[in-house]
Amino acid sequence: MTGQPPGAEPTASWRARPRGTAGGLPREVWTHPADDPRTDARPAPPPPAAPEPPDVWAPHPDPIDLPPPRPHTPARGPAPASAPVSREPSSRMAHAAAATAGLSIAGSVLGLVRDQGIAHFFGAGAESDAFLVAWTIPEIAATVLIEDAMALLMVPAFSAALARGEGPRALVRGTLPRLLAALALLTAALAAGAGGVVRVLAPGIADPATAAACTRLTALTVLTFGVAGYLSAGLRAHRRFAAPAAIYAAYNTGIVAVLFTLHGRFGVRAAAAGVAVGGVLMITTQLPSFRRVLKSSPARSAGPRRGNPLRLALLAPVVVFTLGRQAQVLVERFFAAPLPAGAISHLNYAEKVAQLPMALSVMIVTVTFPVLSRALADGDREQARRRVERDLALACLVVLLGTSYVIACAPQIIEVLFQRGEFTAVDTADTATVMRVYALGLLGQSLVGALVRPYFSAAGPTWYPAAAMGCGLVVTAVADAAAVGPWGAYGIAAGNALGITVTAALLLRGLGAHTVAVRVAAVAPRIGRIALAALCATAAGWVLAHRLADPAVAAGACAVAVPAVFAGAALAVRVPEVPYLLATVTRKGRP
């Protein structure tokens, strides 16, 4: 039959082709004639009105592209209303997301092994605190140079080059040499001034000499992470997700290998040396794929070149936002440094475990970011709006499910992961309480990661995200200062959660005025229903965890019960993403 799917242009001609079955019923896929290889590419005249396909409360999945998009030169002037919108099978997006999730989980597991090793060998005391102060540099470098600033700048730049029919060679020649020079200078400056860096970051730390020695080693990550982030951005824009997703597995492999081999001889400095080695492995993991992309690209530009994406006007807003976000860690460690030894370690371990659900949720927008950038580069704001709304809902679903598990089983999780060697039962209790407080801000963390991408995919620079992050940072600092006295590390974690939630609310409020007009009235009820399902799952997990004495058994039982209760509650309140995800997993629904 002919007609049009929901949300399609009213003048376009669409066809429904049978494609298997779903739940025992025939399943149809809506295609435009221009996208069907069996028909002529020219749009057909508008057909008579026909009924739309059956409406299910699972939303129509937007496509995620896996192979590199075919370059094209955009036509001059506004596109006609009947111009078809190119769509690719959403199964490719699911495959890309699954591969990215699998490799990300592998990296996270190795990260837990790393943290377990540090906790086992050094406990939660002066040595571990010294390393964690030095660890601040790779934490900031990862955020600025891999996950946020570099990706927010370079993924749109590579995507725009593809949209203009260009390969990446001209862009690489114009940006990479300058980037390498700047990163090398910054690395040298940090290594030379390591003692001063420690005094600024943690003025009351118990072992400043060890912290400075570790900082000199971790300073190398500024150079290696910068190169790794640049390669990741280029590969993601070309729909190559495997190598970028594998970098943290390689990174943590380097840390674990050096730590377990040399800790007896060099102490906690072995962990810092492992950080330096892991940064090099991040580069070597991606170089082969990036070289293949360069070799397969056109040798010359196919159109007029844009300005340098690393010029100050574009770079400054992104870097300021990213540094403001990472400054939350600096603020919490500043207030935690005068507390008894181990406070920084408790905050660190709690944050690392609690943020795993947030990392998985941000993985969704990492995979879809090139699609969003391409849509905005092509001027298709409607497709960009749908992409952002769907990303927000899916990210919230993932992070709130993880939040339920973290809050319900925090003591059992920490005991299973860390309580051995120098890490005592007292450390477990303190870390678990901090982790539960941290978890209150996971939704805000995930929303910030999802919302900031549309801002920096727009054509011109905007300072609004940096201003929103600045407001959130002020809230964090004020809350930490007020709460650290009566509540110690727990108050610091609460200030972090409050500040990032304020930032998320400001970013959501300003999105329509600066980039893509998201329908808040449509998105907010969906998030509210997901939160209700998460509340039911948290209560069920809490009851179950307290009824089982063995921590490993309790953690394992909750890992099954919490998602089951969450899914049941989400279906009961009609969260539209859940049936779609369940259908995708079981391969009985839409691809």
DSSP of 339-407: SSTTHHHHHHHHHHHHTHHHHHHHHHHHHHHHHHHHHHHTT-HHHHHHHHHHHHHHHHHHHHHHHHHHH
Strands (DSSP E) along 389-487, which ranges? none
Q: Helix or strand or coil: residue 495?
A: helix
Q: Which amino acid is at 520?
A: V
Spell 45-66 as b/e; 16+ CB within 10 A means b: eeeeeeeebeeeebbbbbbbbb
Point out the domain boundary residue: 266, 300, 334: 300
Separation CA 146–CA 235 (nearest Å):
12
Residue 418 carries which DSSP code? H
Structure tokens at 502: 């304020």
Question: Does residue 170 sit in the same domain as residue 261?
Answer: yes
Residue 518 carries which DSSP code? -
Question: Does residue 554 sit in the same domain as residue 466?
Answer: yes
Question: Does residue 279 sit in the same domain as residue 341?
Answer: no
- 117 part of a folded domain: yes
Please list the residues that pair with 17 across neighbouring strands.
29
Q: What are phi and psi of 49, to 5 degrees?
A: -60, 140
Point out the domain boundary residue: 251, 276, 300: 300
Per-residue pLDDT of the chain (591 residues; tens, 9 = 90+): 444 444 444 444 444 445 444 444 444 444 444 444 444 444 444 444 433 333 333 333 333 334 444 444 444 444 433 333 334 445 566 666 667 777 878 888 898 899 889 888 988 788 888 998 999 899 888 888 887 778 777 888 888 888 777 778 888 988 899 999 999 999 999 999 999 999 988 887 888 999 999 999 999 999 999 999 999 988 988 888 888 989 999 999 999 999 999 999 999 999 999 999 999 999 999 999 999 988 877 655 544 455 555 565 667 888 888 888 888 888 988 898 888 878 888 888 898 888 888 877 877 777 777 777 777 767 777 888 888 888 888 888 989 999 999 999 999 999 998 888 888 899 999 999 999 999 999 999 999 988 888 887 765 668 899 999 999 999 999 999 999 999 999 999 999 999 999 999 999 888 877 777 778 777 888 888 999 999 999 999 999 999 999 999 999 999 999 999 999 999 998 887 776 666 555 544 443
Question: Does residue 294 sit in the same domain as residue 333?
Answer: no
- 52 part of a folded domain: no
Question: Does residue 126 sit in the same domain as residue 221?
Answer: yes
* DSSP H or E segment with residue 43: none
Q: Which amino acid is at 342?
A: G
Q: Using CB atoms within 10 A of its CB, is residue 199 exposed (0-12), middle (13-18) or buried (19+)? A: middle
Cβ proximity of 344 and 211 under 8 Å: no
- 46 part of a folded domain: no
Number of domains observed in the structure of the chain = 2
Question: Does residue 401 sit in the same domain as residue 358?
Answer: yes
The residue whose two tokens read 């725009």 is 160
pLDDT at 349: 86
Structural domain for 383, as ranges:
315-581
Count the helices and strands in the chain (H runs, E runs): 22, 3
Question: Does residue 110 sit in the same domain as residue 206?
Answer: yes
Residue 34 carries which DSSP code? G
- 79 part of a folded domain: no
Separation CA 145–CA 268 (nearest Å):
25
pLDDT at 300: 55
Separation CA 452–CA 465 (nearest Å):
7
Nearest to 319 by CA among 469, 459, 212, 424: 469
pLDDT at 476: 95
Cβ proximity of 48 and 13 under 8 Å: no
- 154 part of a folded domain: yes
Question: Does residue 322 sit in the same domain as residue 209?
Answer: no
Point out the domain boundary residue: 276, 300, 324: 300
Q: Using CB atoms within 10 A of its CB, is residue 138 exposed (0-12), middle (13-18) or buried (19+)? A: buried
- 548 part of a folded domain: yes
Please list the residues that pair with 3 across neighbouring strands.
14
- 221 part of a folded domain: yes
Question: Does residue 462 sit in the same domain as residue 565?
Answer: yes
Question: Does residue 323 sit in the same domain as residue 283?
Answer: no
Cβ proximity of 31 and 3 under 8 Å: no
Following DSSP, what letter does each residue of 235-297 receive, concatenated? HHHTT--HHHHTHHHHHHHHHHHHHHHHHHHHTTHHHHHHHHHHHHHHHHHHHHHHHHHHHTS
Question: Does residue 341 sit in the same domain as residue 274?
Answer: no
* DSSP H or E segment with residue 3: strand 2-3
- 53 part of a folded domain: no
Question: Does residue 345 sit in the same domain as residue 482?
Answer: yes
First-to-last alpha carbon distance for the chain, in angstroms, is 20
pTM for this entry: 0.65
| pLDDT tens readout for residues 155-201 | 888 888 887 777 788 889 888 999 999 999 999 999 999 999 999 88
pLDDT at 474: 95
